[in-house]
């Protein structure tokens, strides 16, 4: 009888878990179907598994008990202590991720190193005396070296200053291994490490989600390629009011509309709304998929994989910059952190004065910001803050620094720490629940799962200002079940696929303005952290709970006239956390992970003056200048001071040497000496022993506006200087970095541009 009762209870628990995970299949974890697809040999996979074991080794429980001072340790922690980085098919997942996402030259480097480590000679070259053995032939390959010596090899290469490509290769594996290990989940949405590190993925719906859970706000206008076939797609598009002709011989669907927009984020969503409301037949192309609040799972691994470019592993060519960019209907607005900050006065004044762009000093732009904030429901305060923002506010208050509330496109009561995986509550007002809804209400069509390849350009009539004319766009399916190419003919074509993808699209269309792909700004970020044990802090909660950004501190210059940096709080799932924190040893790393839920992070964002470039997809080049490094350093120091003032028992940075200091029992002079040692280092490819990885969630400026074609890729109306009828309507338009979260600036600029395009179409 007891066994039957126990079995029933287990069934109820399993059923409850499944019901709580009633999310889209693409956003759920679980067992995969079929084998892993990659090009790695068995020898290379053996080397990769050995590296994963060294990064996250199984440890003796004695080390845990010693560290815990013989206090009772949970079975979850004991289990975590014994886990290895090569378990749960982690090496296979890494290999598949690299195969799908890594640049060709990165794959060549990685495979070469893994192959070398599979041989005795190659291991000798890479590991030196650490591979020596007392038995013939006296040299081991990497997988046969002791676990301790494998860790020493990694420590050596993470410090190596000269052959930096090898350091970068080991870093790639470190990031992939730890991210996969801590973010993957089973069919119940569980990970065997989460209980030990104090993490629980959000799975409870609040009372406000019941009415919207099954709604699909874009249903009347959305066509999803993932749900279509070659047979059904033409009919589905025609049913939405588009003119569709079939060229079966060439496998092309020819579509006619008034306006085609590439991208559905902050720029494309606003443009679609304005132009559809003006009476134009609008088609929006989005290469990502469409999800609603009830589809989201809050599971880091599958959500990052589906909702972000490169599954959240996008990086600059040298590994110096980790880049986050959205890839779904709604673009970045669907996964951003909800901050809604108006364009600062000093920025619009600079654009109006130094770039002669009168739009930004006009009532038109101010009015656009008002309209945008109203449409997306911006609120100015937060009723209840999460742990990280409590720390930021308390630290600032304790040392007399100003701290402001951050306006958000959500309600004042919004307490969601997983909006970066899509807002399950439906509270955050991204373009997919605002502007795009307005657009489909006015007859717009949104086609997800299709990627633009190039614009259709022809020679313009003689006497025209622009030498070329844009007739539309060619697009191909991102899904396997539909193979039609699309040839979309439109009066106006708008590129709104963001600062990382608009330039490659224009360049692949043979546009040659020198500003295309250059002047790229990234708002580079470094992080500071502080540990707040739950047992001795009056601040309760965990770092992944509550609104992601609700507080902000501005780091001012000595004369208080210039903002050098801003300090905010980031979203930190366990996979992201594990991939960013420095690795010094397996023991140190596992100890850090046990502190995950109470390790508060603050980010330092600057208005960068340095410019990068992106002229081909996935290839970002960017290097900080000295003034940017100085501003980041000042911001990082201020963030550490705030953490100390809030009561952290230990603080540090993500510098490769694990830079940190214990605050308890440390005098002010020692703390100041520590702060003086903080600086903005180079990246992993720099010839520095100590290095850092920077982050970027904001990309802008790569097709900037200019009053002449020498000054910009497009004019003040957003129209290409080279091609009539081709407009840009996204963050790449912005003349410089803005130094704050850019959503309001992007949407307001798009609002103005779209209004002007509507006028252009009526001429």
C-alpha–C-alpha distance, residues 286 and 333, integer Å? 14
Q: Which long-range contacts (CB under 8 A, 24 or more apart) does 210-216 make?
A: 212/293, 212/294, 212/426, 213/293, 213/294, 214/294, 215/292, 215/294, 216/292
| Structure token digits, residue 654 | 């993500």
C-alpha–C-alpha distance, residues 579 and 315, integer Å? 13
271 is in an annotated binding site: yes
29 is in an annotated binding site: no
13 is in an annotated binding site: no
C-alpha–C-alpha distance, residues 144 and 50, integer Å? 9
Count CB atoms within 10 A of the CB of residue 30. 14
Q: Which residues fall within 8 angstroms of residue 210, CB to CB, at 6 or more apart? A: none
**130 φψ region: left (φ > 0), alpha (ψ -120 to 50), beta (else):** alpha
Q: Give the sign of the dihedral formed by CA 25, CA 29, CA 34, CA 35.
A: positive
Cα 676 → chain centroid: 31
488 is in an annotated binding site: no
C-alpha–C-alpha distance, residues 183 and 418, integer Å? 14
261 is in an annotated binding site: yes
Residue from 522, 511, 712 nearest 615 by CA: 511
C-alpha–C-alpha distance, residues 451 and 263, integer Å? 9
- The SS3 of residue 348 is helix
54 is in an annotated binding site: no
Enumerate the β-bridge partners of residue 653: 528
Q: Give the sign of the dihedral formed by CA 142, CA 146, CA 147, CA 149.
A: negative
> Do the beta carbons of residue 150 and residue 126 sit within 8 Å?
no
560 is in an annotated binding site: no
C-alpha–C-alpha distance, residues 256 and 234, integer Å? 12
> Do the beta carbons of residue 714 and residue 703 sit within 8 Å?
yes
C-alpha–C-alpha distance, residues 270 and 259, integer Å? 13
268 is in an annotated binding site: yes
269 is in an annotated binding site: yes
3-state secondary structure 546-593: CCCCCEEEEEECCCCCCEEEEEECCCCCHHHHHHHCCCCCHHHHHHHH
11 is in an annotated binding site: no
437 is in an annotated binding site: no
Residues noted as catalytic: 698
Enumerate the β-bridge partners of residue 565: 555
DSSP-assigned states of every residue in 14-78: HHHHHHHT---GGG---PPSS-------HHHHHHHHHHHHHHS----HHHHHHHTTT----HHHH
Residue from 198, 303, 295 nearest 574 by CA: 198
Q: Give me the torsion for CA of 290, 294, 300, 304, rounded to 10°.
A: 0
507 is in an annotated binding site: no
C-alpha–C-alpha distance, residues 536 and 541, integer Å? 13
Cα 753 → chain centroid: 26
372 is in an annotated binding site: no
- The SS3 of residue 755 is helix
678 is in an annotated binding site: no
> What residues form the annotated binding site for FAD?
257-272
> What residues form the annotated binding site?
257-272
């Amino acid at each position: 009888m007891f066994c039957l009762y126990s079995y029933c209870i287990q069934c109820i628990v399993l059923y409850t878990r499944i019901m709580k995970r009633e999310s889209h299949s693409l956003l759920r974890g679980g067992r995969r179907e079929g084998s892993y697809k990659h090009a790695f040999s068995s020898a290379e996979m053996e080397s990769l598994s050995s590296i994963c074991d060294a990064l996250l080794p199984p440890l003796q429980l004695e080390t845990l008990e010693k560290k815990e001072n013989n206090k009772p340790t949970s079975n979850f922690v004991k289990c975590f202590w014994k886990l290895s980085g090569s378990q749960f098919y982690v090496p296979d997942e890494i290999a598949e991720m690299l195969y799908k996402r890594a640049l060709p030259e990165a794959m060549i480097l990685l495979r070469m190193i893994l192959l070398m480590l599979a041989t005795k000679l190659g291991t000798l070259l890479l590991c030196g005396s650490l591979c020596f053995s007392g038995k013939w032939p006296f040299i081991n390959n990497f997988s046969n070296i002791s676990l301790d010596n494998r860790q020493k090899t990694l420590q050596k290469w993470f410090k190596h200053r000269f052959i930096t490509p090898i350091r970068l290769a080991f870093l790639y594996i470190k990031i992939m291994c730890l991210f996969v290990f801590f973010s993957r989940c089973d069919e119940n949405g569980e990970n065997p490490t989460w209980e030990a590190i104090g993490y629980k993925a959000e799975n409870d719906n609040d009372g406000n989600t019941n009415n919207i859970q099954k709604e699909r706000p874009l249903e009347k206008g959305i066509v999803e390629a993932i749900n279509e076939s070659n047979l059904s797609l033409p009919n589905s598009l025609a049913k939405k009011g588009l003119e569709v002709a079939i060229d079966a011989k060439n496998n092309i669907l020819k579509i006619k509309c008034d306006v085609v927009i590439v991208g559905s984020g902050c720029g494309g969503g606003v443009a679609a709304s304005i132009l559809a409301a003006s009476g134009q037949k609008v088609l929006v192309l989005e290469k990502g998929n469409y999800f609603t609040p009830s589809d989201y799972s809050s599971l880091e691994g599958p959500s990052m994989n589906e909702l972000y470019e490169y599954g959240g592993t996008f990086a600059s060519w040298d590994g110096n910059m980790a880049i986050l960019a959205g890839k779904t209907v709604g673009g970045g607005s669907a996964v951003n952190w909800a901050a809604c900050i108006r364009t600062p006065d000093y920025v619009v004044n600079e654009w109006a004065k130094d770039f002669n762009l009168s739009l930004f000093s006009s009532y038109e732009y101010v009015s656009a910001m008002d309209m945008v904030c109203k449409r997306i429901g911006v609120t100015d305060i937060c009723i209840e803050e999460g742990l990280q923002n409590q720390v930021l506010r308390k630290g600032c208050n304790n040392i007399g620094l100003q701290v402001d509330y951050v306006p958000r496109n959500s309600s004042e009561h919004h307490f969601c720490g997983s909006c970066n995986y899509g807002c399950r509550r439906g509270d955050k007002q991204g373009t997919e629940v605002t502007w795009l809804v307005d657009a489909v209400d006015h007859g717009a069509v949104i086609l997800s799962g299709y990627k633009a390849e190039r614009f259709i350009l022809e020679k313009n009539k003689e006497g025209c200002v622009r030498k070329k004319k844009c007739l539309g766009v060619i697009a191909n399916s991102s899904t396997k079940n539909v193979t039609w190419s699309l040839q979309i003919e439109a009066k106006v074509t708008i590129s709104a696929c963001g600062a990382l993808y608009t330039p490659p699209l224009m360049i692949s269309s043979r546009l040659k303005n020198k500003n295309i792909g250059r002047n790229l700004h990234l708002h580079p970020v470094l992080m500071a952290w502080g540990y707040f044990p739950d047992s001795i802090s009056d601040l309760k909660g965990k770092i992944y709970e509550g609104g992601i950004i609700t507080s902000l501190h501005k780091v001012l210059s000595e004369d208080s006239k210039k903002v050098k940096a801003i300090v905010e709080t980031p979203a930190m799932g366990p996979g992201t956390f594990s991939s960013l924190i420095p690795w010094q040893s397996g023991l140190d790393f596992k100890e850090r992970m046990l502190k995950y839920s109470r390790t508060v992070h603050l980010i330092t964002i600057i208005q960068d003056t340095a410019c990068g470039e992106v002229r081909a997809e996935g290839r970002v080049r960017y290097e900080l200048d000295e003034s940017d490094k100085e501003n980041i350093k000042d911001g990082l120091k201020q963030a550490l001071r705030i953490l100390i003032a809030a009561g952290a028992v230990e603080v540090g940075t993500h510098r490769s040497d694990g830079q940190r200091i214990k605050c308890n029992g440390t005098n002010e002079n020692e703390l100041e000496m520590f702060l003086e040692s903080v600086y903005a280092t180079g990246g992993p490819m720099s010839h520095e022993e100590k290095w850092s990885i920077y982050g970027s969630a904001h990309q802008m400026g790569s097709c900037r506006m200019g009053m002449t074609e020498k000054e910009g890729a497009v004019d003040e109306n957003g129209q290409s200087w080279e091609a009539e009828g081709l407009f840009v309507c996204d963050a790449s338009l912005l003349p410089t970095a803005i130094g704050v979260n850019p959503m309001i600036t992007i949407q307001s600029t798009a609002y103005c541009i779209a209004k002007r395009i509507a006028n252009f179409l009526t001429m």
